[in-house]
Amino acid sequence: SAVISQKPSRDICQRGTSLTIQCQVDSQVTMMFWYRQQPGQSLTLIATANQGSEATYESGFVIDKFPISRPNLTFSTLTVSNMSPEDSSIYLCSVGPGASQPQHFGDGTRLSIL
């Protein structure tokens, strides 16, 4: 399976600031996704990162808060904007070939907002 690298692995940020998380894959992939995992909780899909077009956001997530880029088939970024303590979570990137196929995950970015 693809090797997925996320940067940074963790960060502590001040409220009101923004942080951009990078996801790099070692091979070209069709689908890339961003998830949020709040402390002690399961994973919730934020959006599907579409190559060359705007990301597709899930209910409860908006582009102004979580802008996403995907300039090519191996790279994507997620920005968490105007952060508040409620944004303290693990943010995970995943990749997959398509429907009815397993997604594979990076190790996530652990974000704490003070």
Q: Which residues bind other proteins (CB under 8 A)?
A: 1, 4, 31, 33, 41-45, 48, 58, 92, 94, 96, 98-108
Between 14 and 100, whose beta carbon lies closer to other proteins? 100
User: What is the largest distance, in Å, between two alpha-carbon atoms of the chain?
Assistant: 40
Q: Which structure tokens are listed for 32? A: 């890339």
Between 9 and 17, whose beta carbon lies closer to other proteins? 9
Q: Which structure tokens are listed for 36? A: 């949020």
Minimum CB separation of residue 98 from other proteins in Å reads 6
Between 75 and 105, whose beta carbon lies closer to other proteins? 105
Minimum CB separation of residue 28 from other proteins in Å reads 16
Cα dihedral 27→28→34→39 (10° resolution): -10
Task: Of 97, 98, 103, 106, give the one whose Cα is nearest residue 76.
Answer: 106
